[in-house]
């Protein structure tokens, strides 16, 4: 299921990741595009849920590429599973190479939640060819409490049965205060309700590495958008992380009361969030 957009994809296709997994992508183009944006979605969802983002960016002159991360949406791979978290980063490297051939420059990258974790981790590894980086409620520290038994089981099974799948326990009503968005999320068959043991331990490890490397992002043109009512990812941890990054190239917006999916919040709120994103992007155009 997609979040309705006024600008349907003008191109869609797939490519093979380095290990052969098929990655599905879509491109949304305006009649006259002045810059490009790659959108990296979050945990257990897919790129077609970013219709509101597409609807804000395309009229501003952006060609937008969304894709489904491995094990998500219409892409291949075991559902919500990686052997190494860096597989997501390796895929993003290929997506950026694809985007550089299909989208106009300058090129920006936007990541939400786990997508924000992927984007920022990638920026620590390689920031070349990207004019700016934006993240919304990046998955730096979970606010959803994982029961002790599930935490222990995941740690043990990560090595023994890495593909063991368990319910994520993510309450749909915590994604947004907009009841219609919650209903769409809950009935979307492409949204996975489980996570695997190895995915979980790799995810936690990636969080720790990124937090430890925060200062390495100083000087990166970076926008961080945080809903301080987020019940899924700790908004205080995101603010503390941004403070550690610091520097003049960083811009942080905190939105009072907004839940996890700030781009899928109630209409007036998401329009404000998206307007801030568009303003930040267009201010960086030559």
The CATH number of whichever domain residue 159 belongs to comes to: 3.40.50.1820
In a domain, 5, yes or no: no
How large is the C-alpha radius of gyration of the chain? Answer: 17
Confidence band, pLDDT 50/70/90 cuts, at residue 145: confident
Calpha distance 251→234 (Å, rounded): 19
- Whole-number average pLDDT of the chain: 96
In a domain, 39, yes or no: yes
- pLDDT above 80 for 33: yes
pLDDT reported for residue 4: 76
- pLDDT above 70 for 158: yes
* Closest among 65, 208, 190, 91 to 139, alpha carbons compared: 208
* Closest among 104, 114, 103, 107 to 40, alpha carbons compared: 114
pLDDT reported for residue 282: 98
pLDDT reported for residue 17: 98
Calpha distance 49→274 (Å, rounded): 15
pLDDT reported for residue 146: 87
In a domain, 259, yes or no: yes
- pLDDT above 60 for 81: yes
Q: Are 154 and 200 in contact (CB under 8 A)?
A: yes
Q: Which whole number is the average pLDDT over 9-35?
A: 97
Residues of the chain above pLDDT 70, percent: 99
Name the residues annotated as catalytic: 113, 230, 260
- pLDDT above 60 for 1: no
User: Could you tell me whether strands 132-136 and 107-112 are parallel, antiparallel, or unpaired per DSSP bridges?
Assistant: parallel
Q: Which whole number is the average pLDDT over 235-248?
A: 98
Alpha helices in the chain (DSSP H): 51-57, 86-102, 114-125, 148-160, 179-187, 197-212, 235-245, 267-282
Q: Are 201 and 81 in contact (CB under 8 A)?
A: no
As given in the structure block, the two tokens for residue 183 are: 């209903």
Structural domain containing residue 169:
11-282
Confidence band, pLDDT 50/70/90 cuts, at residue 2: low
Confidence band, pLDDT 50/70/90 cuts, at residue 241: very high
pLDDT reported for residue 106: 98
User: Could you tell me whether strands 62-67 and 22-28 are parallel, antiparallel, or unpaired per DSSP bridges?
Assistant: antiparallel
In a domain, 1, yes or no: no
Q: List beta partners, residue 225.
A: 136, 253
**What domain count does the chain have?**
1
In a domain, 237, yes or no: yes
In a domain, 6, yes or no: no
Q: Which whole number is the average pLDDT over 22-32?
A: 97
Q: How many residues does the chain have?
A: 286
In a domain, 57, yes or no: yes
């Amino acid at each position: 299921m997609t979040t309705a957009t006024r600008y349907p994809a003008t191109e869609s296709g797939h490519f093979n990741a380095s290990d052969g997994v098929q990655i599905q992508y879509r491109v949304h183009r305006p009649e006259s595009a002045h810059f490009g944006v790659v959108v990296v979605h979050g945990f257990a969802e897919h790129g077609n849920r970013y219709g509101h983002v597409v609807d804000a960016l395309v009229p501003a002159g952006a060609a937008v590429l969304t894709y489904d991360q491995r094990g998500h949406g219409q892409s291949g791979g075991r559902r919500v599973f990686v052997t190494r978290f860096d597989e997501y980063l390796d895929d993003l490297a290929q997506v950026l190479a694809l985007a550089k051939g299909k989208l106009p420059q300058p090129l920006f990258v936007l990541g939400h939640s786990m997508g924000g974790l992927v984007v920022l981790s990638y920026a620590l590894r390689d920031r070349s060819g990207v004019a700016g980086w934006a993240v919304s409620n990046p998955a730096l520290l979970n606010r959803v409490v994982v029961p002790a038994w599930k935490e222990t089981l995941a740690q043990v099974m990560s090595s023994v049965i890495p593909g063991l799948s368990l319910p994520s326990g993510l309450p749909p009503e915590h994604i947004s205060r907009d009841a219609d968005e919650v209903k769409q999320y809950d009935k979307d068959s492409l949204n996975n309700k489980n996570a695997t043991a190895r995915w979980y331990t790799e995810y936690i490890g990636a969080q720790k590495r990124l937090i430890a490397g925060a200062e390495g992002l100083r000087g990166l043109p970076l926008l961080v958008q945080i809903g301080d009512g987020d019940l899924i990812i700790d908004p205080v941890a995101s603010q503390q992380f941004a403070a550690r990054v610091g520097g003049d190239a960083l811009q942080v917006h905190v939105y009072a009361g907004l839940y996890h999916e700030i781009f899928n919040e109630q209409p007036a709120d998401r329009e404000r969030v998206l307007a801030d994103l568009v303003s930040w992007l267009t201010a960086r155009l030559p």
